[in-house]
Amino acid sequence: MKSIAFTHLLQMAINQGNQLMLIKSMLFLLTVMSANAYSQQNFKEVDSPYQADNTQKFEFNSKVLNRSYDIHVKLPKGYSNKENQHKHYPVLYLNDAPYTFKVALGVTHFPKMDKAIIVAIGFAHGEHGQHSRVRDLTPENDPTWRKYETGGAPQYLKFIESEVIPFVEDVYRIDSSKRILSGQSLGGSFGSWVLVTRPALFSSYILTSPSHWFKNDMIFALEASYAKDHQDLPANVFYATGAVETPEYERKPMVKGQIDFVKALRARDYPQLNMKDEIVEGTDHFSTFPVGLTKGLRWLYQDVWQVE
């Protein structure tokens, strides 16, 4: 593009016999040549991709699901140091690893946020990511979803509970009383479903932009069913949805879905339910997770657990 611009400028100068334009053309050429020389002297393209410190990747062949998934793990800095050999850590479980793991790496870069072992589950091998996640993160079959299979969450949760968690807690020094489940969109509504069906599996939840609208708001009936049989819901729960996640800008009423669900939970007056929620100004469905994860972890570390 720069050579085209120079050629055009030079031709105009010659055609018009314009000395000033000719001088400008030569100065432009010198600038381009200098920039190219600087670039060649100071920058060299390399083939090796960026790699994050303290990370590991496992291929996990699930007997429960008869499918294989990649499991990504990131250890806090200093995990292997001698002075920390008896220390046990909270663990943050994520779905949608190709997106959420990268975000979590950035969020936990600084020491005050680098308190937990991160475990992120990818998509099923050989499947398109959206097909894998829609099946695994939806709790019931919904025949209106013609393009995707739905209703695989019960088996997927069994995979997490009976295979992933035992593996993680056998290999790493985990404080099993501080298991965190976090998810975005369908991952957020998956977390809400776990909260009102198997709440004790995780002590804490960070759920952003939850798709509470799935299958005609079925999550609200499940919440009411839980409340009918239980007097308490012992969990720390952080919800965040972007203020722009409204029908005016997106197809689904995400903001309303979060507000109504949080209202229903608070109305139960559960003694051990510690909940914080936020409608985040300036974020939409594709930008709320980094903000929500950051705020949720900070809330747990500093306000709830007060971990060093």
> Could you report the per-residue pLDDT of 132-184, keeping only the tens digit for each?
999 999 999 999 999 999 999 999 999 999 999 999 999 999 999 999 999 99
Tokens encoding 86: 């008896």
Confidence (pTM): 0.86
Rounded to whole angstroms, the Cα distance separating 105 from 152 reads 28
The alpha carbon of residue 49 and the mean position of all alpha carbons in its chain are separated, in whole angstroms, by 21
| pLDDT mean across residues, the chain | 90
pLDDT-derived band at 308 (thresholds 50, 70, 90) equals confident
- Residue 125 makes CB contacts below 8 A (sequence gap 6+) with 59, 67, 68, 69, 70
At 223 the pLDDT is 98
Say whether pLDDT at 289 is over 60.
Answer: yes
At 10 the pLDDT is 47
At 3 the pLDDT is 47
At 48 the pLDDT is 76
User: Residues 236, 304: contact at Cβ < 8 Å?
Assistant: yes
Exposed, middle or buried by CB within 10 Å (0-12, 13-18, 19+), for 216? Answer: exposed
Percent of the chain with pLDDT over 70: 86
User: Tokens 């952003």 identify what position?
Assistant: 208
C-alpha dihedral, 217 to 223 to 229 to 231, nearest 10°:
-160
- Strands 204-208, 174-184: pairing kind: parallel
At 27 the pLDDT is 58
- Residue 262, amino acid: V
At 45 the pLDDT is 73
Size of the chain, expressed as the number of residues it contains: 308
pLDDT-derived band at 9 (thresholds 50, 70, 90) equals very low
Choice between 182 and 249, residue whose per-residue pLDDT is larger: 182
C-alpha dihedral, 133 to 139 to 140 to 144, nearest 10°:
-40
At 38 the pLDDT is 57
Rounded to whole angstroms, the Cα distance separating 98 from 278 reads 25
Say whether pLDDT at 76 is over 50.
Answer: yes
C-alpha dihedral, 280 to 237 to 233 to 269, nearest 10°:
-40
Rounded to whole angstroms, the Cα distance separating 87 from 79 reads 8
